[in-house]
Amino acid sequence: MRAKTIKLKISLLYASILGAALSVYVALLFIVPADLLQRNKLLCILIPIPITLLFGYFIGRVIVERILKPIKDITDTANNITHEDLSLRVKAENVDKELRLLIEAFNGMVSRLGESFEYITDSSSYIAHELKTPIAIIRGESEFALKKERDKEEYKRVISVSLEETKRMLKIIEDLLLLTKMNYQPDVLKFEQIELTQFIGIIYEQAKILASQKNIIVKIDIPQETGTINADDLHLRRLFLNLIDNAIKFTPVHGSISISLKYENQKALVSIIDTGIGIEKENLPKLFDKFFRIDGKIKDSSPSSGLGLSIAQSIAELHGGEIAVTSRAGQGSNFTVSIPLLS
- The proportion of the chain whose per-residue pLDDT surpasses 90, expressed as a percent, equals 17
**Residue closest to 342 by CA, chosen among 195, 171, 160:** 195
The pTM of this model reads: 0.58
State which amino acid sits at residue 147.
Answer: K
Query: In Å, how far from its chain's centre is CA 302?
Result: 30
Higher pLDDT, 16 or 343: 343
Q: What is the mean pLDDT of residues 189-194?
A: 86
51-90 as b/e: b if 16+ CB within 10 A:
eeebeeeeeeeeeeeeeeebeebbeebeeebeeeebeeeb
State which amino acid sits at residue 6.
Answer: I
- pLDDT attached to residue 273: 94
pLDDT at 329 over 60: yes
Give me the domains of the chain, ranges plus CATH numbers.
2-80 (no CATH), 113-186 (1.10.287.130), 191-340 (3.30.565.10)
Q: What is the mean pLDDT of residues 280-286?
A: 82
Long-range (24+ apart) CB contacts under 8 A made by 197-206 are 197/222, 197/223, 197/225, 197/226, 197/227, 197/261, 198/226, 199/233, 199/236, 199/237, 200/240, 200/259, 200/261, 200/270, 203/237, 203/240, 203/241, 203/244, 203/259, 204/259, 206/241, 206/244
Q: Is 119 exposed, middle or buried (0-12, 13-18, 19+ CB in 10 A)?
A: middle
- pLDDT attached to residue 145: 80
Lowest pLDDT segment from 254-268, 282-296, 325-339: 282-296
- pLDDT attached to residue 297: 52
- What does the alpha-carbon distance between residue 260 and residue 59 come to, in Å, rounded to a whole number? 73
Q: What is the pLDDT of residues 307-321, one digit of tens each?
A: 778 888 888 888 899
In this structure, how many other beta carbons lie within 10 angstroms of the beta carbon of residue 231? 27
- pLDDT attached to residue 216: 92
Q: What is the pLDDT of residues 130-170, one digit of tens each?
A: 677 678 878 888 887 888 888 888 888 888 888 887 877 77
| Helix 196-211 and helix 233-249, axial crossing angle in degrees, nearest 10 | 40
Higher pLDDT, 223 or 89: 223
Q: What is the mean pLDDT of the chain?
A: 76
pLDDT at 11 over 70: no
- Residues contacting 247, CB < 8 A, separation 6+: 257, 272, 274, 276, 333, 335
- 108 in Cβ contact with 102 (< 8 Å): no
Most confident of 5-14, 111-120, 172-181, 257-266: 257-266
- What does the alpha-carbon distance between residue 218 and residue 102 come to, in Å, rounded to a whole number? 56
pLDDT at 244 over 80: yes
- pLDDT attached to residue 1: 47
Q: What is the pLDDT of residues 27-78, one digit of tens each?
A: 655 555 655 555 555 555 555 666 666 666 666 666 666 666 777 777 777 7
DSSP 116-166: HHHHHHHHHHHHHHHHHHHHHHHHHHHHHHHSS---HHHHHHHHHHHHHHH
Lowest pLDDT segment from 8-12, 22-26, 105-109, 207-211: 8-12
pLDDT at 87 over 70: yes
